[in-house]
């Protein structure tokens, strides 16, 4: 009787193993990239996809699993109170800053430009708010003055993972262990129908962050691609001459405009 019981348990374990394996395979197949996008980088917690539509139009999508990869805010030197100003840097300089934070278990793989700012000043103000490493830099000089009802925040927890996109509210900046990036709703008109360099961000569930970078796109193009990758919420980061993308030290979308803020993506924690 004991041998029969052990045999039955073993059969059930085998069946369970097969079910789990099939489920894992189905999940992998379900997460295949949308048509036209090719995987060009894959590491712990981060994937980068590329689509070349010809005529030098390029689109890149960075997918970050914040439970196994890491997002990090990078900013220039902060100066002045109460009207906080941030020193600008080239994206290549921010890459060097990001690489200094590498550890044996964590390495920067991707860097993109970040939040909106004044291009006329250096140091510059931050338009829609910024919180870095749990420190509130500014609530934003343009709040109540520009894009009423169209300002949002992209928030993420650099310690525990997790991310969200919410309508702008000062209380968002008070959350413990959260970083906050002021942004615009995807339908805010920033030359919406013009083909321009664009940087957008999306979220899918609690832990997945999807970043869109292109040298030639309309706002609707960015939103549609993010949705095809599974985004349930989207936000617009700075674009035009600010848009830049560096992957493994190589500028895939180069920019020579100094900026005050960038977002780094690390493989591993």
61-89 residue pLDDT tens: 999 999 999 999 999 999 876 679 999 99
For residues 70 and 265, the answer to whether their CB atoms sit within 8 Å is: yes
pLDDT band of 45, cuts 50, 70, 90 = very high
Which residues in 140-168 are b (16+ Cβ under 10 Å) and which e?
bbbbeeebeebbbbbbbbbeebbbbbeeb
Query: End-to-end CA distance of the chain, in Å?
Result: 50
Q: Are residues 16 and 133 in the same domain?
A: no
Name beta bridge partners: 132: 135
- Give percent helix, percent strand, percent coil of the chain, each to the nearest 5: 20, 40, 40
Average pLDDT, stretch 20-48? Answer: 70
Q: Is 60 exceeded by the pLDDT of residue 267?
A: yes
Q: Are residues 158 and 253 in the same domain?
A: yes
For residues 128 and 113, the answer to whether their CB atoms sit within 8 Å is: no
Q: Are residues 21 and 101 in the same domain?
A: no
Q: Are residues 78 and 9 in the same domain?
A: no
Q: Are residues 23 and 134 in the same domain?
A: no
Q: Are residues 153 and 174 in the same domain?
A: yes
Q: Higher pLDDT residue, 22 or 35? A: 35
pTM: 0.88
The answer to which of 42-46, 55-59, 177-181, 233-237 has the lowest mean pLDDT is: 55-59
Q: Is 90 exceeded by the pLDDT of residue 147?
A: yes
Q: Are residues 18 and 88 in the same domain?
A: no
Q: Are residues 9 and 74 in the same domain?
A: no
Q: Are residues 4 and 121 in the same domain?
A: no
pLDDT band of 38, cuts 50, 70, 90 = very high
Q: Are residues 163 and 38 in the same domain?
A: yes
Write down the pLDDT at residue 39.
98
Q: Are residues 85 and 7 in the same domain?
A: no
pLDDT band of 11, cuts 50, 70, 90 = very low
Which range in 1-5, 17-21, 102-106 is most confidently predicted, on average pLDDT?
Answer: 102-106
**Residue that the structure tokens 């052990």 belong to:** 6
Q: Are residues 242 and 188 in the same domain?
A: yes
Average pLDDT, stretch 256-268? Answer: 98
Cβ partners under 8 Å of residue 193, min gap 6: 218, 219, 220
Domain count, the chain: 2
How far apart are the C-alpha atoms of 236 and 18, rounded to whole Å?
A: 43
Average pLDDT, stretch 248-266? Answer: 98
Q: Return the half-sphere exposure (C-beta side, CA atoms, 13 A cut-off) of residue 126.
A: 33
Write down the pLDDT at residue 82.
61
Instruction: Return the SS3 of 152.
Output: strand
Q: Domain limits at 3? A: 1-30
Write down the pLDDT at residue 25.
30
């Amino acid at each position: 009787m004991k041998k029969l019981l052990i045999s039955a348990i073993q059969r059930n374990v085998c069946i369970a193993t097969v079910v789990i394996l099939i489920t894992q395979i189905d999940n992998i197949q379900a997460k295949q990239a949308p048509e036209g996008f090719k995987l060009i980088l894959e590491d712990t917690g981060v994937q980068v996809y590329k689509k070349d539509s010809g005529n030098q139009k390029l689109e890149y999508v960075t997918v970050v699993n914040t439970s196994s990869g890491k997002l990090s805010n990078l900013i220039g030197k902060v100066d002045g109170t109460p009207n906080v100003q941030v020193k600008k840097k080239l994206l290549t300089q921010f890459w060097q800053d990001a690489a200094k934070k590498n550890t044996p278990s964590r390495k920067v793989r991707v860097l993109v430009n970040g939040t909106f700012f004044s291009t006329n000043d250096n140091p510059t103000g931050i338009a829609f708010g910024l919180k870095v490493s749990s420190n509130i830099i500014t609530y934003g000089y343009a709040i109540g003055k520009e894009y009423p009802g169209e300002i949002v925040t992209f928030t993420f927890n650099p310690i525990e993972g997790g991310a969200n996109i919410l309508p702008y509210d000062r209380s968002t900046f008070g959350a413990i262990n959260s970083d906050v990036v002021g942004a615009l709703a995807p339908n805010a008109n920033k030359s919406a129908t013009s083909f321009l360099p664009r940087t957008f961000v999306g979220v899918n569930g609690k832990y997945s962050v999807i970043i869109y970078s292109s040298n030639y796109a309309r706002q609707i193009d960015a939103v549609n691609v993010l949705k095809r990758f599974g985004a349930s919420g989207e936000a617009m980061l700075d674009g035009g001459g600010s848009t830049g993308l560096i992957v493994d030290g190589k500028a895939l979308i180069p920019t020579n405009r100094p900026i005050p803020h960038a977002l780094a993506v690390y493989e591993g924690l």
